[in-house]
Structure 1
Amino acid sequence: MKAILDNIIFPLQKSGGISNVWFEFLYRITRKKDIELSFLDFENQNIFFQKLLKNNYLPNIAHSKRFLERYRNPQLNDIHEKFIFHSSYYRICKNPYAINITTVHDFTYEYYNHGLAKFIHSWQKRQAILKSDHIICISENTKKDLLHFIPNVAPEKISIVYNGVSDDYHIISSSETLNTLPFPSLSYVVFVGSRAKYKNFELTVQAISKTSLNLVIVGSSLNSEEQSMINKHFQKDNRIYCTGYIDNSQLNIVYNNAYALLYPSTYEGFGIPVLEAQKAGCPVIAYNGSSIPEIIGDTTLLMQEISTKEIHDKLEILKNKQVRTKIITEGIKNAQRFSWDKMYENIINIYQKVWESRNF
Structure 2
Amino acid sequence: MSRGPSVLYDGIVFDLQAMGGISVLFREIITRCPPGSFRFLGYGASPPAFVPTAAFERRRPRLLERYRDVPVEGRVPLFHSTYYRVPASRRTPCVTTVHDFVYERFVGGLRTAVHARQKRAAILRADAIICVSESTRQDLAHYVGHRAAERAAVVHNGVADGFRPSVDAVVQPQVLFVGQRGGYKNFVGAVQALEALPDLALRCVGGGPFTAAEQALVDRCLPGRARWLGHLSDEQLNSEYNSALCLLYPSCFEGFGIPVLEAMRAGCPVVAVRAGGVPEAAGDAALLTERGDPDELRAAVASLFDARRRSELVARGLVQAARFGWERSYHGTRAVYESLLGRPFAAASAP
Q: TM-score, normalised by structure 1?
A: 0.89
Structure 2 residue corresponding to 1:333, chosen from 297, 308, 319 = 319
Deviates more, 1:270-279 or 1:152-161: 152-161
Residue pair 2:270, 2:286 contacting (<8 A) in 1 also: no
| Structure 1 residue aligned with 2:80 | 86
| Structure 1 residue aligned with 2:40 | 39
Structure 2 residue corresponding to 1:13, chosen from 13, 17, 26 = 17
Residue pair 1:82, 1:97 contacting (<8 A) in 2 also: no
- Secondary structure of 1:86's aligned partner: strand
| Structure 2 residue aligned with 1:180 | none
The aligned runs of 1:235-274 (5 Å cut-off) are 236-237=223-224, 239-274=225-260
Residue pair 2:140, 2:149 contacting (<8 A) in 1 also: no
2-structure distance, mates of 1:279, 1:144: 27
| Structure 2 residue aligned with 1:179 | none
| Structure 2 residue aligned with 1:51 | 49
Structure 2 residue corresponding to 1:218, chosen from 182, 205, 208 = 205
Q: 1:197 to 1:155 in 2, by over 3 A?
A: closer
Structure 2 unaligned spans of 5+: 344-351
| Structure 2 residue aligned with 1:63 | 59
Deviation at 1:293, TM superposition (A): 1.0
Give the number of equivalent residue pairs.
337
Match of 1:43, as an amino acid?
Answer: G
Q: TM-score, normalised by structure 2?
A: 0.91
Deviation at 1:82, TM superposition (A): 5.3
Structure 1 unaligned spans of 5+: 177-183
Residue pair 1:130, 1:153 contacting (<8 A) in 2 also: no
| Structure 1 residue aligned with 2:70 | 74
2-structure distance, mates of 1:161, 1:66: 32
| Structure 2 residue aligned with 1:346 | 332
2-structure distance, mates of 1:225, 1:264: 19
- Secondary structure of 1:52's aligned partner: coil
Match of 1:67, as an amino acid?
Answer: L
Residue pair 1:8, 1:42 contacting (<8 A) in 2 also: yes
Deviation at 1:51, TM superposition (A): 3.0
Residue pair 1:287, 1:303 contacting (<8 A) in 2 also: yes
Where does structure 1 differ by over 6 angstroms across 4 or more consecutive aligned residues? none
Say yes or no: does 1:162 pair with 2:156: yes
1-structure distance, mates of 2:19, 2:275: 25
Deviation at 1:204, TM superposition (A): 0.8
| Structure 2 residue aligned with 1:143 | 137
Residue pair 1:103, 1:135 contacting (<8 A) in 2 also: yes
Q: 1:156 to 1:145 in 2, by over 3 A?
A: closer
1-structure distance, mates of 2:133, 2:196: 35
Residue pair 1:4, 1:84 contacting (<8 A) in 2 also: yes
- Secondary structure of 2:38's aligned partner: strand
Deviation at 1:299, TM superposition (A): 3.6
| Structure 1 residue aligned with 2:346 | none
Deviation at 1:316, TM superposition (A): 2.8
Structure 1 residue corresponding to 2:115, chosen from 104, 115, 121 = 121
Deviation at 1:88, TM superposition (A): 0.2
Q: Percent identity?
A: 36
Q: CA RMSD in A?
A: 1.8
